[in-house]
Amino acid sequence: MDDSAAGDMGLNTADITSLVSAMVQGDVAVSVFSDDVEIDVNVVPGGPPIDDPSDIASMSIRLDSGAYIPLSTVASLDMVVSDAQIERLGGALAVSLQANLGEGVDLSTAMDRVLAISDEVLPDGMGITFTGEAATLGDSQSGMYMVFGVALVVVLLVLAAQFESFASAVVIMMTVPFGLAAALLAISLSGGSLNYYSQIGLVMLIGVMAKNGILIVEFANQLREAGEDIDSAIRSALRLRIRPVMMTMVSTVFGGLPLILTSGAGAEARIAVGWVIVGGLGFATVFTLFLTPIFYRWIAVWGATPGGAARKLKAELQAPASA
């Protein structure tokens, strides 16, 4: 741009660049609404198209006096190779890439594949940084394990306080990993993936499994408090509590069937939750019925006798009265 020549003719840089932009790309004159959709009206120049650099140099600029001069009078055109824009991420030069997922490929698998290829292809000092949904997924996965770990510890402490026995709480919590494995098996058999919605189903599954375990362990503790030994107490508890456990499983599974059979918008989210509830709870109930008595038999012997603290307190209260 020849600033002195442009100034003598009453022009500035903004006038010239706006002219070039309007002649090459057009100019949005107004926006109109059609069927609640905003549409920009772009005014483009008539005549032959501008598809050669020499066409830009021959453009005419209208002066305040009404005279026209060619653009080459106040500017020159040089061909250079440069980036259309320079992007930075975290203070470093970056190149943005976007891609669509292939059919049957989830986002987590695609991210792992991209990282594996980048380790083989990219030179030292270069790497991959995910943005958008990929970055959100990576952050959620890293925080998911910590959240589940903290939740398990909190539930363990609450159960220990409720039962007044750490052993009973451990018995119930030891069935949770098997329930999670059952849910992952159901997800794998259904062709799904571990996403936000299936994680919500996992939380519900853990709650139902803990409830079933509480039914069995609590009744076994009551029988032991009444004087029965560990073996007979857990057998009687399982025999008497199998009906409510199965009723809970059947009602929850049938309640989750509409989530699996759904269709339409948002069906993927409901199906992900449904398979965890239906398939996961079905397998998890089997684990609960078989593993809870085994764990109770192994661990209960290390804990205090149910009702022992209450009997000791009662004896201490009655001692002064007897004296």
- Between the alpha carbon of residue 38 and those of residues 28, 34, 41, 44, the distances in Å are 13, 7, 10, 19
Query: For residues 58 and 217, what is the distance between their CA atoms, to the nearest angstrom?
Result: 90
Select 133-308's CATH number: 1.20.1640.10, 3.10.20.30, 1.10.3080.10, 1.10.10.60: 1.20.1640.10
Residues 6+ apart with CB under 8 A from 311: none
Containing 60, the helix (H) or strand (E) segment is strand 60-62
For the chain, the structural domain boundaries read 3-73, 87-129, 133-308
Question: What is the fold of 3-73?
Answer: 3.30.2090
Write down the pLDDT at residue 308. 60
Long-range contacts of 76-80 (CB under 8 A, 24+ apart): 76/2, 77/53, 79/53
Write down the pLDDT at residue 14. 79
The total of other beta-carbon atoms located within 10 Å of residue 147's CB is 12
Write down the pLDDT at residue 286. 82
Write down the pLDDT at residue 119. 84
Write down the pLDDT at residue 307. 61
Write down the pLDDT at residue 312. 66
Write down the pLDDT at residue 140. 66
Query: For residues 288 and 211, what is the distance between their CA atoms, to the nearest angstrom?
Result: 10
Q: What is the pLDDT of residues 248-287, one digit of tens each?
A: 888 888 887 887 777 777 677 778 778 888 877 777 888 8
Give the residues of the chain that fall short of pLDDT 50.
none
